[in-house]
Structure 1
Amino acid sequence: MWLAAALLTPPAPAGAQALQPYAVVGDAIPEPLTNARGDISRGRALVVERSSTCILCHSGPFPEQKFQGDLAPDLSGSGNRWSEGQLRLRLVDASRLNAATIMPSYYRVDGLTRVGALWRGKPILSAEQIEDIVAYLVTLRE
């Protein structure tokens, strides 16, 4: 019974903790959002998690996942196409690069207009989760 409830519960936002300050330089956030390096295995787990992140829109080298998104670029080779800083900005706030993007701003809370009540004032991902995903994506060299 609890398993069914857990599967039907929407993903929880990262929490009401204060956002870590960051600086955008060109098309990147060159400095990590945390003092610790991201964890590659946690990053991969977040990427393939259907309830809240990447695989809903992106495809990639995830053979265990039968159904992958086709709305956004394939993540294969991400580490060749973008630097850590470029990937970080795309996760934090892709709208800074493309105002018409459909990609959510995973680490932004200001200026958003179509946000569900449970998500208002909270980032979708924590700074640590952003760093975990960046650590994984840079390993995808195809």
Structure 2
Amino acid sequence: MLLTAALCSSKAPAQALQPYAVVGDTIPASLTGAAGDATRGRALVLNRASTCILCHSGPFPEEKFQGDLAPDLSGSGARWSEGQLRLRIVDASRLNPATIMPSYYRIDGLVRVGTAWRGKPILSAEQIEDIVAYLVSLRQ
């Protein structure tokens, strides 16, 4: 699967982070300037390399061994706005400094980072937007 290869590749060149503004508890604007693709976002959430379902459960009856350390993703789009979801994925530590959720789109100030991920985000701006598009679609 292409998503798996792209997500797991430690040979990918470091990419510059897109600038973004945090407003309250949101990142209101898309990191890419465009909406993400919910179908690709679902595939990323279910891909164990992205780690989402290692901690979260959700409306994924086909997936065994979903996590129970973090909130269920069912109804995410009803509980949080697009901007709130974006900030939680980009850098949840801005909302809760003690969180165990990784900062998926941050490279500064991190101390326990695997060699393959030093100097680059875990997810690209496009992948963040795809996941946001999927999570926003989960209304129930």
Which residue does the alignment assign to 2:14? Answer: 16
Which residue does the alignment assign to 1:3? Answer: none
Q: TM-score, normalised by structure 1?
A: 0.90
List alignment gaps of at least 5 residues for structure 2.
none
Question: Residue 11 of structure 1: CA displacement?
Answer: 2.1
Q: Which has the larger radius of gyration?
A: 1
Q: CA RMSD in A?
A: 1.7
Which residue does the alignment assign to 2:56? Answer: 58
Q: TM-score, normalised by structure 2?
A: 0.92
Which one of the candidate residues 20, 31, 37 is aligned to 2:35?
37
How far apart in 2 are the matches of 1:29 and 1:85? 5
Equivalent pair of 1:60/1:75 in contact (CA under 8 Å)? yes
- For residues 49-77 of structure 1, the C-alpha deviation after alignment (integer angstroms, 9 at most, x for no partner) is 11223111000000110110111000000
Amino acid at match of 2:80: W
Question: Residue 36 of structure 1: CA displacement?
Answer: 2.2
Amino acid at match of 2:43: A
Question: Residue 15 of structure 1: CA displacement?
Answer: 4.3
Q: 1:125 to 1:15 in 2, by over 3 A?
A: farther
- Identity percentage over the alignment? 80
* Aligned residues between the structures: 135
More displaced 10-residue stretch of structure 1: 95-104 or 35-44 = 35-44
Which one of the candidate residues 113, 118, 121 is aligned to 1:123?
121
Amino acid at match of 2:75: G
How far apart in 2 are the matches of 1:15 and 1:46? 20
- For residues 81-120 of structure 1, the C-alpha deviation after alignment (integer angstroms, 9 at most, x for no partner) is 0000000000000000000000000000000000011110
How far apart in 2 are the matches of 1:116 and 1:35? 30
* Structure 2 residue matching 1:51: 3-state secondary structure: helix
* Structure 1 residue runs of 4 or more that deviate by more than 4 Å after TM superposition: none
List alignment gaps of at least 5 residues for structure 1.
1-5
Equivalent pair of 1:46/1:53 in contact (CA under 8 Å)? no
Which residue does the alignment assign to 1:140? Answer: 138
